[in-house]
Amino acid sequence: MRGSITFKIVPSYRTQGSSCEDLPSSIQPKGRQIGSRPAVVDQMSVKIYVKAQFEYDPSKDELIPCKEAGIHFRVGDIIQIISKDDHNWWQGKLENTKNGTAGLIPSPELQEWRVACMAMEKTKQEQQASCTWFGKKKKQYKDKYLAKHNAVFDQLDLVTYEEVVKLPAFRRKTLVLLGAHGVGRRHIKNTLITKHPDRFAYPIPHTTRPPKKDEENWKNYYFVSHEQMMQDISNNEYLEYGSHEDAMYGTRLETIRKIHQQGLVAILDVEPQALKVLRTAEFVPYVIFIAAPTITPGITEDESLQRLQRESEILQKTYAHCFDMTIINNEIDETIRHLEEAMDQVCTSSQWVPVSWVY
C-alpha cells in the first residue's frame, strides 16, 4: 500500500445497541501530542514510532471502513506512523516485520472516544438496573445518572499509543518489580541484592515508629517524626507511603537517587500507581511483571493460588502497557535466572523508550 488514503466517515458506535448521547463532543488526547517535536527539528525528516498500549483486531471493529486494510496489533507492538492526515484513521506499519505493509489503525481520538463510550454505556446499564427496585421510575434518577456519567469519564485512564524512540544500548537505573501480593517479588528482590551487592540495592524506607533495641538509624530504617514525614509527603518527596499499626512507612525519592549516585540499580517492588512518578528520564526504569504461577482450572484447588491468579490477571489487564517484560513465576530460581538475563540483555541491546525521555 502506497500513498495517502483519506476516508470521509462519521463514527457511529452501535455494538449491542449501545448509544453515546451523553459523550462529550470532543476528547483530547492526554499528555503530549504524538508526533510533536521541538521547532528546530524538521518534521518531514523525522520518522514517528509509537508503542501500542491496547490490543486491536480490525476484523472485530465495526467502525473501520475496510477490515482488510486494518492492522492487527498487540500491547507493546512498535508501529511506524506513515500518515495522520485522517482524523479518525491513521496509517502505519508494524516495525520489525518481514514485508510489512501499511494499513489502518484507529487514531488516539477515535480510540479514546470508543473506550469512553463503552464505559459510559456500561455505567448507564448498571444504573438502569439499580433503578428498577420496587418499580421506581427511572426518571427520578436522571440527575444522579448524569452526575455518575461525568465522574466515570473524569476517572477514565485512557491509553492508546505512546510515542517512542530507539536508543543505543544503555543501563537502566531502576528495576521495578510489579505483581500481585504474594507472588514472590520480595524474595526475588532480596535474592538479587544478596547475589549482586555490587549491582543492585534497595532504598531504605522511612518510618515514624520508634526504633527497636537492635535497630540502627539509616541501616534498617530512617526513623523520622510524624510531623517531618507529613511535611515531606506534602512536598511530594515520597514515592509511596502508608500506615501500619499507628505508624507511617514510606519510600523517599531521595533514597532512590542516592542509590543511583552510587552507580547501582535501585530495585523497587511497588504498586503500579508509582509508575506515574518512575517512568521518567530521571529514573529510566525497566519494568518487569512477575505473573502468578500457571494453574490448571478444575485441577488446582488451592484457593490462595486461585486468588493470586485472579489478582495477577487483573493487574496484567490493567497495566500491561507499562511492562517491559513479563515472567511467569512457575519456579523461583528459573524466574531469577530469566530476570538476570533480561537485565544483562537490556544493557547490551538497543531499546525503545518513551520519546519524553529524550526530548
The 10s digit of each residue's pLDDT in 233-266 is 999 999 999 999 889 999 999 999 999 999 999 9
Domain count across the chain: 3
| pLDDT given for residue 158 in this prediction | 79
Percent of the chain with pLDDT over 70: 77
Hey, what's the cell of 12?
457511529
| pLDDT given for residue 349 in this prediction | 94
Task: Kindly state whether residues 282 and 182 are assigned to the same domain.
Answer: yes
**Which CATH number belongs to the domain containing residue 100 in this structure?**
2.30.30.40
2 belongs to a structural domain = no
For residue 137, what are the CA distances in angstroms to 132, 144, 150? 7, 13, 22
CA separation for the pair 159, 140 (Å, rounded): 35
pLDDT band at 130 (very low <50, low <70, confident <90, very high): low
pLDDT beyond 50 at 59: yes
| pLDDT given for residue 149 in this prediction | 41
Question: Is 268 in a helix, a strand, or coil?
Answer: strand
Hey, what's the cell of 124?
448507564
Q: Which residue has the higher pLDDT, 192 or 296?
A: 192
pLDDT band at 119 (very low <50, low <70, confident <90, very high): confident
pLDDT beyond 70 at 20: no
pLDDT band at 124 (very low <50, low <70, confident <90, very high): confident
pTM value is: 0.80
| pLDDT given for residue 40 in this prediction | 42
187 belongs to a structural domain = yes
CA separation for the pair 81, 38 (Å, rounded): 18
Average pLDDT, integer, range 334-357: 96
Task: Kindly state whether residues 160 and 304 are assigned to the same domain.
Answer: no
Percentage helix, strand, coil for the chain under 3-state DSSP, each rounded to 5: 35, 20, 40
Q: At what angle do helices 108-130 and 142-155 cross, to 10 degrees?
A: 140
pLDDT beyond 70 at 164: yes
pLDDT beyond 70 at 38: no
pLDDT band at 46 (very low <50, low <70, confident <90, very high): confident
3 belongs to a structural domain = no
pLDDT beyond 50 at 142: no
CA separation for the pair 275, 312 (Å, rounded): 17
Task: Kindly state whether residues 55 and 99 are assigned to the same domain.
Answer: yes
Average pLDDT, integer, range 28-54: 66
Listed residues 218, 245, 263: the one ending a domain: 263
pLDDT beyond 90 at 21: no
Question: Is 263 in a helix, a strand, or coil?
Answer: coil
pLDDT beyond 90 at 74: yes
Q: Which residue has the higher pLDDT, 204 or 1?
A: 204
Q: Which domain holds residue 324?
A: 169-199+264-349
356 belongs to a structural domain = no
| pLDDT given for residue 2 in this prediction | 57
pLDDT beyond 90 at 140: no
CA separation for the pair 2, 240 (Å, rounded): 49
Task: Kindly state whether residues 325 and 179 are assigned to the same domain.
Answer: yes
pLDDT beyond 50 at 311: yes
Task: Kindly state whether residues 219 and 341 are assigned to the same domain.
Answer: no
The Cβ-side half-sphere exposure at 174, using a 13 Å CA radius, reads 24
Listed residues 263, 285, 307: the one ending a domain: 263
Question: Is 277 in a helix, a strand, or coil?
Answer: helix
